[in-house]
Chains A and B, each alone.
Chain A
Amino acid sequence: MNAFLTSRPVSDVLTGVTNGVIYALVALSLVLIWRSARLLNFAQGAMAMIATYVGFVAIAPHANYWVAMVVSVVAGCLIGALTERGLVRWLYGKPELNPVVAMVGFLLVLESVAAAIWSTSSRGLPSSFSPIDWQLGGRPLALSPFAAYEIVTALVVMGFIAGIFRFTKLGLRLRAAALAPEVSRLLGVRVNRMLTIGWILSSGVGAVTAVLVASNYFTGLTPTAMDGVFAFGFIAAAIGGLDSPGGALASGVTLGIVLQFVSDYVNANDVILVALGLLIVSLMVRPNGVFTRDAQRRV
């Protein structure tokens, strides 16, 4: 049993899941906004990164890790609300090119401002979880306390979001506002407020993701820490379908596992190439994602 659990394929699956839950969280964050506003938030990673800086460097530099994390998530939600009210409001009803360009510009502003204030050098976050793998019968299991913490946190966040959407009145209103804005408005749902709440939830998820990424001993917190993660998260979301939260989660974890196998058996450099190839092939076969039901686009 021990030999099986520490074997190469099982190690790859475990490492893959650890990476994959991060991609899944980014994908979830993108899907939350896409469903309500039909907008792909290219600044998602940068907004989350700023939230982490605010929590861990600006407001609570010497505080307990968990306090700083809560501050970061609150800051993330606030940034989401401000972005929606201050910038995205101006983009509804414009050609679909405009929001893409605006969010890319916003990404550039956020990353530059972060580097101007906090410099580009990497900072470690004081998480108390060891990045050293557990031992099993003298051989390393590809799972460390830190990896377990990442996976558990991701599952908690996913459960929380799923719970809101499935079991609360707010979740019902959010879904109604996304699927049929006009009808919901007639029925008394405040659609604009629902949009803002969607951004708050999405940015909160993003902030948790960025804290997890930056807590990693090997990467740390830099202004561009989320760039690579965002690219993989987008690929996961696009393969799973930007309309399907479940699909985004499933394809995020699957992508993490597949890429870990590529990295282990082929070459670590080729990971992003394989991801790009998977994206291109899956978009050509199913342009709206693997997990979404086909819907006719209205003219």
Chain B
Amino acid sequence: MDNNVKSYRKPYVRPVKANWWTDRSFYIKYMLREGTSVFGLIVALEFLLFIVAILLNPIQGAYFITNFFANPIVILVNVIALISVMYHTYTWFNLMPLVVRMFKSKEPTDTKLIPAKLMVIALWFAWVIACVVIGLVLAFIR
């Protein structure tokens, strides 16, 4: 098409505000979900710290860890982290079924997918089992 065509267009592009995510509760929840991953990071760093401490010196390391956890600020941070990570888990468990699209059977006429709810329940079930196993292992170590 000719480039010398006159156009009367003057499209208006709306500016993107920095606080766009406060417009809808859905976006706020999304930002919260993403924000909770920061606490996931903190927990991971804690673990890393412990491992390094134990590897450097098992006795002093264990002493350090015990002291570290006695600190009220650390306790507070870990309580918040627990809640955050639980929320993160909750949101991810709700989203997980979307990535799995499975039919109830292999019959060519079966058009019913395994319902998302069932998968969410299965995930929480697996979570509970994992918690119990870890708890038992820890109890055994002591």
Q: Do A and B come from one complex?
A: no
Identify the B interface with A (CB < 8 A).
none
